[in-house]
């Protein structure tokens, strides 16, 4: 049978988001603070059933790059995007597959029968989100799965490029590097999200290894600043300078510029473009369209949605400015939904 040809592959850590409306008493019960994003400890493992049984929780495919993949597929023709990561052999994995299929996202999960599917409890209080994650099987992705002939043939048939979430640098850097090197060798697009401040802070080596292969790098102001500080730059460095510094890093595939995109919530999106042979880095700022606070339902996944819209633009061959606008449009839509829907 001929290998199906997709446009974009996303790789990271699949989770089932279990999202419910909570209150401060619930946060206190599980030792959580408002807006926390942390890994679950043993005393917090009851949160997931509590949300399902008592808080009418919604079950939504999650994990940052899976959100991005869903967002990109939402804006693209059928069979444009596929996604890989690791799940368990359980009901949660079945739910993930079903919901992704409903949305037109093709998944090729590695299955670890010894470990449950990862999940993220999301407590929504007003416009705030508090997230408690049990990674479980999401932590068990292996390079061997990517290199299986059937899967790797799909990688080779992916025509535009690849998006890797930075969280995957904590799981299986060799898989991310395999995609990065393939992209450079074949002049496909390689995109990376910094994902969280602790990635540049505590996973400096795998990040430093993969950045030379990146055509697009996404981060928010905290992630960009943390990266700059990890490189020895002062803590009062501007976001514009952060973006320029990352854009000017050495690059393997010089046929493509490096584009660094720093989102700042409602403040302008900063974009730095560095092209081979040019000393000057082009710096632009794009205003974020104003959204009425009354329309904001939940900020969960807005950054993932921005990346999804941007990726859709890349797949369609749009100019950079249009990619930014598509990212902002999808992020705005995401803000009006519960979770990264």
C-alpha Rg value of the chain to the nearest Å: 19
Q: Judge contact between 138 and 118, C-beta under 8 A.
A: yes
Q: How many CB atoms lie within 10 A of CB 47?
A: 25
Q: Judge contact between 237 and 262, C-beta under 8 A.
A: no
Q: Judge contact between 71 and 305, C-beta under 8 A.
A: yes
Whole-Å CA distances, 7 to 126, 154, 258 = 38, 10, 20
Specify burial of residue 261 (Cβ count, 10 A radius: 0-12, 13-18, 19+). Answer: buried
| Active-site residue identified among 17, 292, 304, 318 | 304
Closest CA to 248 of 259, 256, 239: 259
Q: Coil, helix or strand for 225?
A: helix
CA atoms of 9 and 68, how far apart (whole Å): 11
Closest CA to 265 of 296, 235, 244, 243: 296
Known active-site residue 322: no
CA atoms of 79 and 110, how far apart (whole Å): 20
Q: Coil, helix or strand for 155?
A: helix
Buried residues in 48-62 as b, exposed as e (16+ CB within 10 A): bebbeeebebbbbbb
- Point out the residues that are catalytic: 304
């Amino acid at each position: 049978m001929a290998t199906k040809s997709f446009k974009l592959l996303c790789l990271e850590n699949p989770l089932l988001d279990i999202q419910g409306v909570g209150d401060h008493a619930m946060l206190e019960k599980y030792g959580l603070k408002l807006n926390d994003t942390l890994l679950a400890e043993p005393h917090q493992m009851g949160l997931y059933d509590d949300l399902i049984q008592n808080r009418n929780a919604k079950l939504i495919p999650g994990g940052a790059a899976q959100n991005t993949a869903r967002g990109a597929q939402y804006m693209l023709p059928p069979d444009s995007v596929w996604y890989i990561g690791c799940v368990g052999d359980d009901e949660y994995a079945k739910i993930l597959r079903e919901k992704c299929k409903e949305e037109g996202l093709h998944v090729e999960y590695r299955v670890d029968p010894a470990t449950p599917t990862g999940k993220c409890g999301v407590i929504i209080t007003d416009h705030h989100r508090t997230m408690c994650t049990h990674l479980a099987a999401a932590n068990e992705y292996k390079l061997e799965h990517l290199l299986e002939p059937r899967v790797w043939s799909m990688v080779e048939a992916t025509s535009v490029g690849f998006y890797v979430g930075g969280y995957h640098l904590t799981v299986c850097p060799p898989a991310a590097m395999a995609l990065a090197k393939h992209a450079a060798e074949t002049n496909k697009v390689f995109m990376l999200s910094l994902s969280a401040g602790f990635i540049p802070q505590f996973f400096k080596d795998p990040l430093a290894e993969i950045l030379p292969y990146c055509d697009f790098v996404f981060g928010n102001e905290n992630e960009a600043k943390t990266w700059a500080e990890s490189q020895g730059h002062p803590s009062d460095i501007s976001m514009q300078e952060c973006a320029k510094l990352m854009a000017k890093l050495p690059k393997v595939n010089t046929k493509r510029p490096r584009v660094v995109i720093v989102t700042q919530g409602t403040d302008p999106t900063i974009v730095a473009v560095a092209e081979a042979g040019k000393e000057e880095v082009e710096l632009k700022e794009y205003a974020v369209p104003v959204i009425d606070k009354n329309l904001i339902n939940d900020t969960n996944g807005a950054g993932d949605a921005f990346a999804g819209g941007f990726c859709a633009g890349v797949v369609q061959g749009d100019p950079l400015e249009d990619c930014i606008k598509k990212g902002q449009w999808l992020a705005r839509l995401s803000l009006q939904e519960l979770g990264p829907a």
